[in-house]
Amino acid sequence: MLSSVYGPWTLFTDLGIIFALLLAGKLIRVKVKFIQKLFIPPSLIAGFLGLALGPNGFGLLPFSGQLGTYAGILIALVFAALPLSSPKFSFKEVAGRVGPIWAYAQLGMLIQWAVMGLFGLFVLNFIWPQLNPAFGVMLPTGFYGGHGTAAAIGSAFEGLGWDEAKSLGMTTATTGVVVAIILGLIMVKWAAARGETKFIKDFSDLPDDLRTGLIPVEKRESAGQVTTSSISIDSLAFHLAFVFVVALIGYLLSQGVKYYYPKLEIPVFSASFIVGLIFKKIFDATKVSDYICPNQTSRLSSTFTDLLVACGVASIQLSVVVKYAVPLIILILTGIAVVWLITFYLGRRLCKTYWFERSIFAWGWWTGTMAMGIALIRIVDPKMESKAMDDYALAYLPIAPVEILLITFVPVMFASGLGAWILLAALVASVFIIILAKKMGWWISPAKTKA
């Protein structure tokens, strides 16, 4: 009989069940053809199983009441690992090589936040005055941000008195992943039939490893380099220690600010990201970076993300979803239309080469997660010949701070009654980026897009 008092063995039980559900999700992905065709990730399947069988569903799995809290901890670990796995870069290199992709990706983020946030504030709130003013930003929270951002912003809003935010964000994030894949595959089939794709001619030619997620021996790649001798400390433990220390310092920084300035609350994930950036600069200057393998820290970040998705979806409060069902459905349908227009309208005008490959990656990213974008681009560009991933990775480096600022300050601004101003600022910034793109010669006619 499991104890009703939360303790170390309760944490062990929760993690054991989550990992068991991840394995079950993987088995389902391997065996069920319908799931393979939709490219639904095992972490999302695990989350659905946990939601259906856990306390928020049939109550068959003995999850503790802390399942939702784990998402907030895991997102701090994800953001702590990100700077440690990033390469060195210069803004000159970014501007010279990937200016158009930067403009495209930055606009995709700012317009989604601005338009959907204002839609919620001035349309949905007009129809349903009882809605929280920040209801509209739950769409970009889940679509552009994914489950990680939903956990981060949900935790921030919880601290500011809106306890339903996390469930709403997790719901839009989960819907976004499904939308990313289903509509993404429809777009891929359409583009292949019209000759818009450059590297595939028939959608049915996709290799089995993309469908099942099981990589054959001849295609397997290294997960990273061993940088320390196991006689002293295992390399994985070495990298795990860095990530946890960065996240811990971020947590202490967040708590310290909250203690000395109660009105100013810095989310733990934001503080962890800032601490990670500082550590990264120190490590680069002292050669410590020579012993930190980006692949290993990236794998750790992906592991925490899988756990985050599973825990986040399983912790959704269905009563909240039912309570806001009608405005939530309207928000999601409007969001799908807005993001579709942003993605493919801007894609034809800012992607000079391989416009569809770059646009379909953006679609997966802006509705689901970066992983969904990767899944879709691997379908249309199996050998990554378009170099879209390289350019996006470089372009995202100056975008990340803007995203962090939005995630950090949107809850605070809405709590202060100033939410509309930060959304309008994002809209104005979008206009300036379009003007810049035209002046720099990045904006092109759709007829000129070519491979």
Helix (H) or strand (E) holding 359: helix 355-367
Q: Measuring CA to CA, how many Å separate 362 from each of 105, 274, 298, 346, 418? A: 7, 26, 20, 10, 30
- The pLDDT value given to residue 351: 83
Concatenating the DSSP letter of every residue in 98-118 gives HHHHHHHHHHHHHHHHHHHHH
- Tell me what the mean pLDDT of segment 215-224 comes to: 72
- pLDDT digit string (tens) for 411-433? 889 988 899 999 999 999 999 99
What are the structural domain ranges in the chain? 8-448
- Under the banding of pLDDT at 50, 70 and 90, the label for residue 104 is very high
The two structure tokens encoding residue 448: 């000129």
| pLDDT, average across residues 99-111 | 91
Other C-beta atoms closer than 10 Å to the C-beta of 273 total: 27
pLDDT at position 136 is 94
Lookup: tokens for 416 = 């202060």
User: Mean pLDDT lowest for which of 120-129, 168-177, 193-202?
Assistant: 193-202
In sequence order, the β-bridge partners of residue 353 are: 450
Q: List, as one string, the DSSP characters of 18-35.
A: HHHHHHHHHHHHHH-HHH
Rounded Cα distance between 420 and 91, Å, is: 31
Class of 8-448 per CATH? Answer: mainly alpha
Cα atoms in the Cβ-side hemisphere of radius 13 Å centred on 422: 21
| 336-394 pLDDT per residue, tens | 999 999 999 998 888 878 888 889 989 988 997 766 776 677 777 766 677 776 677 66
Q: SS in 3 state form for 288-310?
A: HHHHCCHHHHHHHHHHHHHHHHH
Amino acid 335: pLDDT: 95
Higher pLDDT, 446 or 392: 392
What pLDDT shows up at residue 51? Answer: 86
Whole-model pTM over 0.75: no
Q: Summarize pLDDT for 47-68 with one digit per residue, the tens.
A: 889 988 988 788 898 888 787 7
Instruction: Name the token pair of 157.
Output: 């809003």
Residue 62 DSSP symbol:
-
pLDDT, tens digit, 9 for 90 and up, residues 133-176 = 999 999 999 898 777 788 788 888 887 888 889 889 988 988 88
What is d(CA 320, CA 334) in angstroms, rounded to the nearest whole number? 20
pLDDT mean over 237-258: 90
Q: If you average pLDDT over every residue of the chain, what do you get?
A: 83
Choose among 20, 138, 15, 2: nearest CA to 67: 15
- How many percent of the chain have pLDDT more than 70? 87
State yes or no: pLDDT of 128 exceeds 80: yes
What pLDDT, on a 0 to 100 scale, did the predictor assign at position 451?
Answer: 47
If you compute the radius of gyration of the chain from its CA atoms, what whole number of angstroms results? 22
Give the pLDDT score at 22.
94
Query: Which of 15-44 are b and which e, b meaning 16 or more Cβ less than 10 Å from the residue's Cβ?
Result: eebbeebbeebbebbeeeeebbebbbbbbb
Give the span between the Cα atoms of 162 and 153, in whole angstroms: 11
Of 230-234, 241-245, 278-282, 442-446, least confident by mean pLDDT is 442-446
Residue 211 pLDDT greater than 70, yes or no? no
Distance of CA 254 to CAs 15, 172, 188, 270, 408, Å? 26, 27, 43, 9, 12
pLDDT at 446: 62
